[in-house]
């Protein structure tokens, strides 16, 4: 995307209004709701309501989604959509699309925002987005001001929150839209190791906030192999399919993230932090596409700006076989890849560990 320096004031939206009704109190799901926080990998439409260049509410985005474009940065469903379907829940609606509207039988909320990251300054040159801390602020409003209207006692609300899943997918933009961007001085201030530690320390504070708000079942995805995405692999001179030096940067983060989640699970009573070990899986898909039913792991399916390295161009038709492509645009993967990742995490405790999602909802 063009490097435009745009300053926006963050606007906290009006509270979401909920309708109290019997049907929301006791759904027969292993998890009554999913609350999603993160970036464009899981954004389901929040950026539609924000002044930013990072939007996906137009074709060809959503070409394979049942209702067309929604603001998801892919051709169809994201990984958290597949998780919600597995749990028997409706797809999780974006928080900003629901402000001012009454909702009954709410299956959770999605606070994720494309282009943003763990650090508050990440991605802001593209326009307004919700950093991870701002997303937790909005979740706090939901939990403290809105959800109590649906439950007769604090104990019932606490039980609901403890059974719900909290999905976190964040951090890749802190590299793509911060550390690797020349308009920031981050690389002069931090070594790769110290930057990874800075990210993990900042993330830790917000994950502890989630716990204090009542979250108990929290799964956090690693950062994927961003050195393989077209926006990096096609712009940086290198040998091989991926820029391995860039992949090495995020592996420093992932290693510290694993230790963090183990420590939080041991230190916070009743908590279950699960790590989505998706980096290795996503890398294997890129290197061995035929094993996963894919063919093209280098080029975007849609026609993008900047010669295959940026966002899809409005209205241009995508490739005829997106289910054979790894990448949808210059930054994001296709629904086919999200489905593989989701199914692996749902069933396989070596991918999502120490508990698969199927196991996490029953602990």
CA-CA distance, 190 to 245, in Å (whole number)?
16
- The CA distance from 353 to 258, in Å, is 10
Mean pLDDT value across residues 167-183? 98
What per-residue confidence (pLDDT) applies to 30?
A: 84
Q: Are strands 165-169 and 217-221 parallel, antiparallel or unpaired?
A: parallel
Mean pLDDT, residues 154-173 taken together: 97
Task: Report the C-alpha gap between 78 and 73 in whole angstroms.
Answer: 8
CA distance 363 to 360: 5
| pLDDT given at position 29 | 52
**Torsion 210-122-138-335 (CA) sign:** negative
* Residue 316 and residue 303 in contact, taking contact as beta carbons nearer than 8 Å: yes
Q: What does the pLDDT look like over 74-133, one tens digit per residue?
A: 999 999 999 999 999 999 999 999 873 435 578 999 999 999 999 999 999 999 999 999
* Contact between residue 263 and residue 212 where contact means Cβ atoms under 8 Å apart: no
Backbone angles phi, psi at 84, to 5 degrees: -60, -45
Asked whether the predicted pLDDT for residue 165 surpasses 90, the reply is yes
**Mean pLDDT for the chain overall:** 91
Query: Lowest-pLDDT range, 59-63, 98-102, 331-335?
Result: 98-102
CA 244 to chain centroid: 23
Structural domain boundaries in the chain:
34-227+244-277+334-361
Question: CA–CA distance from 349 to each of 3, 107, 310, 322, 352 (Å)?
Answer: 41, 25, 34, 28, 5
Is the confidence at residue 17, as pLDDT, over 80? Answer: no
Confidence of residue 14 (pLDDT cuts 50, 70, 90): very low
How large is the average pLDDT for residues 141-157? 93
Q: Is the pLDDT of residue 169 over 50?
A: yes
CATH number given to 34-227+244-277+334-361? 3.40.50
Catalytic residues: 40, 329, 332
| Sheet with 34-38, edge to edge strand ranges | 34-38, 165-169, 217-221, 272-276, 352-353
Span 154-159, average pLDDT: 96
Range with lowest mean pLDDT among 148-152, 331-335, 336-340 = 148-152
| Residue 134: Cβ within 10 Å count | 17
Q: What is the DSSP string of 243-286?
A: -HHHHHHHHHHHHHHHHHHHHHHHHSTT-EEEEE-HHHHHHHHH
pLDDT for residue 12: 33
pLDDT at res. 103: 58
DSSP alpha helix (H) spans, 118-213: 132-141, 154-163, 172-174, 186-189, 192-213
Q: Provide the residue count of the chain.
A: 363
Taking residues 170-176, what's their average pLDDT?
A: 98
Do the Cβ atoms of 38 and 134 come closer than 8 Å?
no
- According to the model, what pLDDT value does residue 102 have? 37
What is the phi/psi pair of residue 124, to 5°? -70, -15
Residue with tokens 């949808």: 328
Phi, psi of 218 (to 5 degrees): -125, 120
Contact 103, 27 (CB under 8 A): no
Distance (Å, whole) CA 113 – CA 136:
12
pLDDT at residue 361, rounded to an integer: 95
pLDDT reported for residue 41: 98
8: left (phi over 0), alpha (psi -120 to 50) or beta: beta
Question: What average pLDDT does the segment 44-73 reach?
Answer: 98
pLDDT digits (tens, 9 = 90+) for 180-203: 999 999 999 999 999 999 999 999
Please tell me which residue, 141 or 11, carries the higher pLDDT value. Answer: 141
CA–CA separation, 172 vs 180, rounded Å? 11
* Residue 131 structure tokens: 């950093």
């Amino acid at each position: 995307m063009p490097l435009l320096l745009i300053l926006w004031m963050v606007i906290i939206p009006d509270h979401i209004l909920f309708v109290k009704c019997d049907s929301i109190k006791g759904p027969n799901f292993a998890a009554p709701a999913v609350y999603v926080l993160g970036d464009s990998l899981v954004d389901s439409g929040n950026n539609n309501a924000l002044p930013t260049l990072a939007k996906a509410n137009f074709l060809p985005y959503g070409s394979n989604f049942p209702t067309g474009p929604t603001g998801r940065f892919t051709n169809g469903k994201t990984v958290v959509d597949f998780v919600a379907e597995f749990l028997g829940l409706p797809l999780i609606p974006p928080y900003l699309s629901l402000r001012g509207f009454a909702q009954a039988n709410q299956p959770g909320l999605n606070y994720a925002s494309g282009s943003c990251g763990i650090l508050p300054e990440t991605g802001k040159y593209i326009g307004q987005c919700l950093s991870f801390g701002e997303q937790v602020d909005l979740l706090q409003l939901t939990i403290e001001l809105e959800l109590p209207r649906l439950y007769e006692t604090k104990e019932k609300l606490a039980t609901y929150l403890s059974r719900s899943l909290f999905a976190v997918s964040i951090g890749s933009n802190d590299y793509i839209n911060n550390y690797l961007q020349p308009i920031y001085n981050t690389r002069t201030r931090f070594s790769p190791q110290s930057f990874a530690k800075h990210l993990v320390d900042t993330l830790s504070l917000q994950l502890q906030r989630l716990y204090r708000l009542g979250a108990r079942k929290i799964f956090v995805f690693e950062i994927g192999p961003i050195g393989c995405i077209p926006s990096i692999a096609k712009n940086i001179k290198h040998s091989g399919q991926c820029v391995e030096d860039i992949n090495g940067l995020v592996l420093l983060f992932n290693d510290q993230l694993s230790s963090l989640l183990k420590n939080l699970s041991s230190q916070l009573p009743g908590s279950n932090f699960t790590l989505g070990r998706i980096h290795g899986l996503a890398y294997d898909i890129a290197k061995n596409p035929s094993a996963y039913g894919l063919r093209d792991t280098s080029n975007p399916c849609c026609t993008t700006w900047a010669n295959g390295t940026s966002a899809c161009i409005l209205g241009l038709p995508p490739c005829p076989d997106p289910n054979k492509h790894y990448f949808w645009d210059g930054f994001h993967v296709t629904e086919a890849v999200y489905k593989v990742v989701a199914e692996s995490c749902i069933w396989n405790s070596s991918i999502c560990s120490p508990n698969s999602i199927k196991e996490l909802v029953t602990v």
